[in-house]
Amino acid sequence: MRAISGLWRWRHNPLCRTTDLVEAWLALAALLLILLATPLAGCLVGGLAQDALQQSVREQRASRHLVTATVVREMDGSALDADPETSTGRDVRTRVLAYWTAPDGSEHRAPVMASLDSPQPGDRFTIWTDRHGRTVARPLDSATAGTHAVLAGLGAALIAAGLIEGGRRLVLWRMSRRRYARWDRAWDKAGPDWGRTGTGS
């Protein structure tokens, strides 16, 4: 920002080097690119992610079914576990042996996690299965998909801003190396006797 604010003052200053103007214009161009390109990149990536995630939500809702299972018995040594799929992570789940009927009519009996504090034989609870009755994770919901799409857009915007700033710094680094190389050549041209009295006489 300091380079941009000084750009107008430095235009006709006799002490202004060409590299000073280039650095100021480069900073201005990078700022404009960050202000214009990063929101565009974020919106583009966020939109694509939203479309893909919502398509996944529709596919999961079509292929996963909520069925009612019945507790046969609690599994031995089953500790209470927090459900990682819930929004709060505080819902307690217990491992039980249960049976259920799949959407295709087949009967199933297997150990599953039940959202019951103290399950008793005959207690009923719901689980997610595929069409053939195999247990699956709950389908992604639209709100979660939208949140992931927003995060993807923000990530893309931050990456774009980082790339622009990284490119600006790389150009400045190369300019500094060239400047130092010119100074080294100028010092070499001045010779080892520079600054001594009577040099060149």
Host domain of residue 101: 65-130
Using 50, 70 and 90 to split pLDDT, how confident is the model at 87? very low
Residues 72 and 107 in one domain: yes
Q: Which of 54-68, 72-86, 92-106, 130-144 has the lowest mean pLDDT?
A: 72-86
Does a structural domain hold residue 7?
no
Same domain, 44 and 94: no
Is the model's pLDDT at 67 over the cut of 90? Answer: yes
Which residue, 130, 156, 175, sits at the end of a domain? 130
Residue 10 has pLDDT above 60, yes or no: no
Instruction: Report angle CA 183, 188, 193 to the nearest 5 degrees.
Output: 125
- CA–CA–CA angle 130, 150, 38 (5° rounding): 140
Which two tokens mark 136? 């699956």
Residue 102 lies in a domain: yes
Q: Are residues 72 and 94 in the same domain?
A: yes
pLDDT at 172 over 50: yes
Residue range 68-91: mean pLDDT, rounded: 64
Total domains in the chain come to 2
SS (H, E, C) 123-179: CEEEEEECCCCCECCCCCCHHHHHHHHHHHHHHHHHHHHHHHHHHHHHHHHHHHHHH
Q: Are residues 70 and 96 in the same domain?
A: yes
Q: How confident is the model at residue 59 (pLDDT cuts 50, 70, 90)?
A: very high
| pLDDT at 191 (0 to 100) | 67
Is 155 a member of any domain?
Answer: yes
Last residue of a domain, one of 130, 156, 180: 130
CB 157 within 8 A of CB 41: yes
The pTM for the full model equals 0.64
Q: Say if residue 14's pLDDT is above 70.
A: no
The beta strands (E) that lie in the chain are given as 65-74, 81-82, 92-101, 107-114, 124-129
The answer to whether residue 196 is domain-embedded is no
Predicted confidence band at 1 (pLDDT cuts at 50, 70, 90)?
Answer: low
Q: What does the block give as tokens for 121? A: 């034989």
Yes or no: say if 43 and 153 are a contact pair by the CB < 8 Å rule.
Answer: yes
Arithmetic mean of pLDDT over the chain: 83
Residue 181 structure tokens: 């190389």
